[in-house]
């Protein structure tokens, strides 16, 4: 199994990976996955996202779990959970689109032609002000609606599919549609069906997580849990990639910037300013970094810093130290 972002890379240099340390991302043990894993949870309606994460912590007996993209209590659907160090990679999922299925009630039955015309006007960039009961500052901001279609309409009930930018308020979208229609509209029910590249057909429930964890603990059978917990690298398949030498890994884990001599392979279309994933030769994500040069510039250069580290994911000392600190000069 090879992740999409680790295919078709431009080779800069060669190196031999040492099997004495590190582990292939797709060969992690359950204990390793519990620190570098991803669960695509089907959040039930009722609890807050924070409560859902708290339940997952108790089930998996982990001190650290994070989620990507808060869902209101009554909203169900895709809630990606990062386990342990994997929480640091979840921000990448906010870069992609989200899909919702929302059921709303129109305060009067509209003319279909007028309704379709109004819905078309909401495709593209729109202005939104977060609802009064919101976790963010209530300032007007822009968000993009990529697709907006009527799935079904029965009298005043309207089921919409919305593909939009992260941070779009679907409840407010229904309210605004109702304001333009005239009589108003209210959202009744909402489900998130997609976060970036992850769709709802990949989801698992908290009950399934609990059963799989109990099976592993009580019977030493990890088959169910390994199907549920994905390597965190799966969250990064939509961004460009760089593979580095084993000797450069620990320096990055301690906050160093990635210099050109440490690079072995990289995506062919990297541009300055791109966010990329930095990987070991075994496919383990080390960090997220911002490119300071393009692929062509990196290929032609022999020294200098090519990437600025933005988020360290791998724990220090996972790979052996191959760098030295400068001795302090005497005063």
pLDDT (tens digit per residue) in 279-328: 999 999 999 999 999 999 999 998 999 999 999 999 999 999 876 655 55
State the average pLDDT over residues 22-34: 95
Summarize pLDDT for 212-229 with one digit per residue, the tens: 999 999 999 999 999 999
Residue in 233, 171, 227 with CA at minimum distance from that of residue 36:
233
Residue range 54-82: mean pLDDT, rounded: 96
**β-pair type (98-106, 157-164):** antiparallel
* Residues annotated as part of the active site: 72
Instruction: Give CA–CA dist 108/123, Å, rounded.
Output: 23
**Alpha carbon of residue 328 to chain centroid:** 41
Q: What are the helix (H) ranges across the chain? A: 30-33, 49-60, 112-121, 170-181, 206-219, 223-228, 246-253, 295-300
Confidence tier at 232 by pLDDT (50, 70, 90)? very high
Average pLDDT over residues 257-278: 95
List, as one string, the DSSP characters of 135-175: SS----EEEEEEEEEEEEEETTEEEEEEEE-TT--HHHHHH
183-192 pLDDT per residue, tens:
899 999 999 9
pLDDT tens digits for 83-123? 999 999 999 999 999 999 999 999 998 888 999 999 999 99
Residue 135 above 70 pLDDT? no
- What pLDDT shows up at residue 331? 44
């Amino acid at each position: 199994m090879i992740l999409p972002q680790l295919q078709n890379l431009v080779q800069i240099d060669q190196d031999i990976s040492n099997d004495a340390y590190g582990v292939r991302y797709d060969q992690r043990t359950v204990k390793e996955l519990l620190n570098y894993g991803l669960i695509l949870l089907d959040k039930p309606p009722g609890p807050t996202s924070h409560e859902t994460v708290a339940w997952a912590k108790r089930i998996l007996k982990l001190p650290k779990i994070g989620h990507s993209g808060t869902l209101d209590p009554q909203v169900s659907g895709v809630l990606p959970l990062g386990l342990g160090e994997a929480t640091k990679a979840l921000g990448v999922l906010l870069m992609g689109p989200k899909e919702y299925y929302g059921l709303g009630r129109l305060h009067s039955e509209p003319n279909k032609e007028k309704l379709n015309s109004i819905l078309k006007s909401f495709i593209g960039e729109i202005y939104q002000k977060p609802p009064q009961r919101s976790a963010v500052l209530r300032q007007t901001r822009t968000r993009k609606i990529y697709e907006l279609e009527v799935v079904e309409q029965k009298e005043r009930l309207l089921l919409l599919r919305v593909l939009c930018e992260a941070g779009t308020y679907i409840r407010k979208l229904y309210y605004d549609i109702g304001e333009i229609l005239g009589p108003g509209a209210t959202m009744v029910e909402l489900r998130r069906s997609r976060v970036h590249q992850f769709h709802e057909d990949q989801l698992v429930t908290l009950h399934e997580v609990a059963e799989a964890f109990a099976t592993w603990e009580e019977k030493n059978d990890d088959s169910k849990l390994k199907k549920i917990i994905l390597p965190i690298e799966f969250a990064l398949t939509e961004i460009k990639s760089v593979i580095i030498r084993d000797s450069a890994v620990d320096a990055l884990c301690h906050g160093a910037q990635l210099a050109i001599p440490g690079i072995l392979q990289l995506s062919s279309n990297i541009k300055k300013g791109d966010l990329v994933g930095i990987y070991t030769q075994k496919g383990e994500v080390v960090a997220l970094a911002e490119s300071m040069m393009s692929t062509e510039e990196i290929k032609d250069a022999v020294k200098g810093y090519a990437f600025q580290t933005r988020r360290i994911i791998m724990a220090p000392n996972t790979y052996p130290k191959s760098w030295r600190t400068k001795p302090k000069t005497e005063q």
